[in-house]
Amino acid sequence: MIPMIHSKHMNRAALAMLVTLGAVLAGCGKKDAELSAGERVDAAVAEAKSEGQQLGQAAQARLDETRTAVSDAAIMAEVNAKIAQDKELEASKIDVEVRSGAVVLKGTAPTDAAVSRAVALAQGTSGVTSVTSELKIGSS
Count how many domains the chain has.
1
pLDDT digits (tens, 9 = 90+) for 61-93: 888 787 777 789 999 999 999 999 998 887 789
- Taking the C-alpha atoms of residue 104 and residue 76, their distance in angstroms, rounded to an integer, is 10
> Looking at residues 27-36, what average pLDDT do you find?
55
Range of the domain at 28: 2-137
To the question of pTM greater than 0.75 for the whole model, the response is no
* pLDDT confidence tier of residue 26, bands split at 50, 70 and 90: low
CB–CB of 83/118 below 8 Å? yes
CB 92 within 8 A of CB 66: no
In degrees, rounded to 5, the angle at the alpha carbon of residue 107 between the alpha carbons of residues 118 and 132 is: 55
